[in-house]
Structure formats: C-alpha cells, structure tokens
Amino acid sequence: MMRGYLRSDGRKGIRNLIAVAYLVECAHHVARRIAEADPERAHVIGFPGCFPNPYAQKMMERLCTHPNVGAVVLVSLGCESFDRAALERVVRASDRPLRVVVIQGEGGTRSSIAAGRAFVEEQGPLLEAAETVPMAVSDLVVGTVCGGSDGTSGITGNPAAGIAFDRLVAEGAACIFEETGELIGCEGIMEARAATPALGTEIRASVEKAARYYAALGYGSFAAGNADGGLTTIEEKSLGAYMKSGQSRISGLIKPGDIPPKGGLYLMDVVPDGEVRFGFPNISDNAEIVEMMASGALCTLFVTGRGSVVGSALAPVVKIAANPVMYARMEEDMDVNAGRILTGGATLAEVGEEIYRTVIGLAEGRRTKSEELGHQEFILTYKSFEPIGPACLPV
C-alpha cells in the first residue's frame, strides 16, 4: 500500500529526510561533516556561489520544503550574499524543524559541526517514528531525464518510460519531462500535442530559444559518448529523448521551481531566458534532476544507454538500462533492464509496466539501487528565468 508523509501544504512525500543545506561553498565542508551524523537520512544540498541569484534562491526554497524533506539544517559561513533570512522564513512557515548554523557566529568548524550534528541526531528518531498517511497515484509527481544516451535509448528505455508516464498521467499523477535543448527538431510534434494552441506556441518558442542559446555557445547538448554510442546528430538524439514523454496531451510548460498545479504531463524549459550569461544550461545530468525536484518530483526516471551510476539527494532515482550489454556489465546500478526489448525478453508494454510498478514501489517503501549504494549527488549553479506566462498553464 502506498503511504506518504503529509506536509503542511497538503503535498505528500515518499521519504522523510533531513536537508543539510550549505549557502556558500565555504560552508560545504561543515555541512558534509554534519550530515555524517546520519548518512542515510541527512542529505547535503547547497548553492556554492557567493553572489546572489534569484534562481538559486528559488531552488533552495523549493528544495528545503520538498515533500521528501522533514527537517532542515541551514549552514552559513555568515558573510555570503545568499539571502539566508528569506530562506529561513520559508522553511519556518512550512512547519519543518529547523536549525541555522552560522559558522562565524558558532566559533568555527568544530563547534559548527557539533551544533549541526546535535540537531540531526535529535531529529533522526523523530522522523523515523513519524506517522504516514495513505497515498494515491494522483499524489505523485514524477520526473524523467536521460543521460549517457546511445543508439538503444530511443528504442527501448525512453519509449518504455513514456509508456509508464502515460499510465501515471491517466491515473492523475503529474509527470515532468525535459530538456528543451535536447528536443530540437521535435517542436512541431509537441506543439500539436499541447492542450491549447497558445500553449503549443509557447512550447515551440521554448525549443527555438534553446536552439539559439546553444548556437551562441557554439556547442550543443551532444557529448562524445553519444557519438560513440551510435548517435549522429542532435535531431537524432532529440527523437530518442522525446520518446520519454509518452503520448499524453501536454498540459503545461513550466520552468525550474514551478510546481504543477494538478495532474498531467508537463514540459520543463531548462534553458535560461535572456542573453547567454551563465554558460551551459545544465552542466551535468544531476543539475536536471535537481530542477525536477525543485518542481516537486518525488522521484526521477533516468534512462541510460551508455551507463550512469548517479543518484540524487532528497529524491530517489530509478535507473533504466536501455542497452542489454551495458545492463549485464552494470547490473548492480540498474533498476530496470529495458534492454530485454532488444533481445526479445520483454515487450515495450511489459517494461513500461515494470517501470510503473517500480515507481509505485517507492511509495510502498522499496528503495532504488542508487539509494542502496549511497548515491546523493547534487549540483546547483547560476541561471536566470522570467516567470511563465498565462498560456503556459491553461485552465
């Protein structure tokens, strides 16, 4: 039976974790040492920069109040430009237990670690004993990304994830796919799937923006590993990435930190607005997972053909192996073997059902391979976004 942790805003989490959040890279070491007091329950997240950034502020506010988070430690050096007071207000308003550790005020490294650890050790048993409530599929928010893609990704793992998405959406879940920079060439198809013509226009514009952005950088979202795996162009890669979205109507276009207002399928625009100022939109797959979480994703489906071992802080990552040869080599990191589709061991529909059941299992207490292995990757960098317009979330 699916059960979750009810939060004050009505959302439900499938985990009950402690976010140990550093507010500048200077506080990262102290945050990491604090989390060592409870390495499975305490997850380190943070923003490394000292200059302020509205995007990073919004991300940290959303992440510290994520449904999977039950308590928070904010770790500040004391002189950074991050708006610690605003983040503290947001966390306190969510009724989560909070401890603020200001290293300069606490007296340095050792005393700050001790203060943070005392809070973590106090909260651990309380979070462990917290009551849960029944969950429905309509309570779920699920993201999907693909990384280390190869020639098998678009014919096994990605379409199987799309089948799982279709079922989740049909049962009321909110499902988020991305990345506009890896959907170049698919804008017309997605425009036709939009809930309204105005939304279709916004979707097309988001992909065209991504194409301009990458053209300005002189480098697209295409890695050497993709080419080694048999992909030849960004359009070819895009067609495979697009398959993760399934066939449901696209209900809305959101940007990182925008929380879907109801169930449905949502495209996330991850490419910054305005001129190119902060470099590559996402410098690794984990940056995309963080943005999914900031929009409320309780878990993320990660399709890989070449093989990836990453997980994530705060929210489980379901690893879907697209390539059967890679699965045989890296089975201990993979949750689903979609490569069986190529070898005749399963159909697309059967693997899609397995992915769906794996997501449901997370809300029933089962853990992913990356969780079992202790993966808690996290990365957050500078970006800039304008608010979405009214056409992006049509009534």
DSSP string, 53-87: -HHHHHHHHHHHT-TTEEEEEEEE-SS-SS-HHHH
All residues at 6 or more sequence positions from 334 whose CB lies less than 8 Å from its CB, including other chains: 319, 320, 321, 327, 369
Q: Can you give the pLDDT at residue 179?
A: 84
DSSP string, 89-132: HHHHHTT--EEEEEHHHHTSHHHHHHHHHHHHHHHHHHHHT---
DSSP string, 325-359: HHHHHSGGG-SEETTHHHHTSS-HHHHHHHHHHHH
Q: What is the pLDDT of residues 214-257, one digit of tens each?
A: 889 887 665 565 655 555 565 666 667 888 999 999 999 999 99
Q: Which residue has the tokens 């998405």?
A: 165
Give CA–CA dist 66/378, Å, rounded: 15
Nearest to residue 276, comparing CAs of 219, 354, 205, 322?
Answer: 219
Q: What is the pLDDT of residues 138-196, one digit of tens each?
A: 999 999 998 777 878 888 999 999 999 999 999 999 999 998 888 988 899 999 999 99
- Domain end (from 83, 115, 133): 133
CB-facing half-sphere around the CA of 31: CA atoms within 13 A: 26
Give CA–CA dist 225/232, Å, rounded: 11
- Kindly state whether residues 87 and 205 are assigned to the same domain: no
- pTM of the predicted model, to two decimals? 0.95
Beta bridge partners of 43: 19
Q: Quickly list H helices, the chain.
A: 28-35, 54-64, 84-93, 103-106, 109-128, 157-170, 187-193, 197-217, 224-228, 234-242, 285-294, 324-329, 340-343, 348-362, 369-372
- Kindly state whether residues 105 and 75 are assigned to the same domain: yes
Longest dimension (CA), the chain: 63
Residue type, 209: K
Q: Give the burial class of 39: count Cβ atoms within 10 A of its Cβ; 0-12 exposed, 13-18 middle, 19 or more buried.
A: exposed
- Domain end (from 109, 133, 157): 133
For residue 108, the domain's CATH number is 3.40.50.2300
Beta bridge partners of 3: 134
Phi/psi of residue 3, nearest 5 degrees:
-135, 150
- Kindly state whether residues 96 and 207 are assigned to the same domain: no
Tokens of 321: 């192996």
Residue stretches of the chain with pLDDT short of 50: none
- Kindly state whether residues 237 and 360 are assigned to the same domain: yes
Give CA–CA dist 386/211, Å, rounded: 18
- Domain end (from 106, 133, 160): 133
- Kindly state whether residues 186 and 313 are assigned to the same domain: yes
Q: Can you give the pLDDT at residue 389?
A: 96
Q: Can you give the pLDDT at residue 221?
A: 61
- Kindly state whether residues 173 and 142 are assigned to the same domain: yes
Give CA–CA dist 69/19, Å, rounded: 6
- Kindly state whether residues 301 and 162 are assigned to the same domain: yes
- Kindly state whether residues 119 and 209 are assigned to the same domain: no
- For the beta carbon of residue 159, count every other beta carbon within 10 angstroms: 25
All residues at 6 or more sequence positions from 126 whose CB lies less than 8 Å from its CB, including other chains: 71, 97
- Kindly state whether residues 126 and 165 are assigned to the same domain: no
- Kindly state whether residues 150 and 103 are assigned to the same domain: no
- Kindly state whether residues 21 and 151 are assigned to the same domain: no
Range of the domain at 76: 3-133
Beta bridge partners of 45: 21
How many folded domains does the chain comprise? 2
Q: Can you give the pLDDT at residue 319?
A: 97
Q: Can you give the pLDDT at residue 93?
A: 98
- Kindly state whether residues 225 and 275 are assigned to the same domain: yes
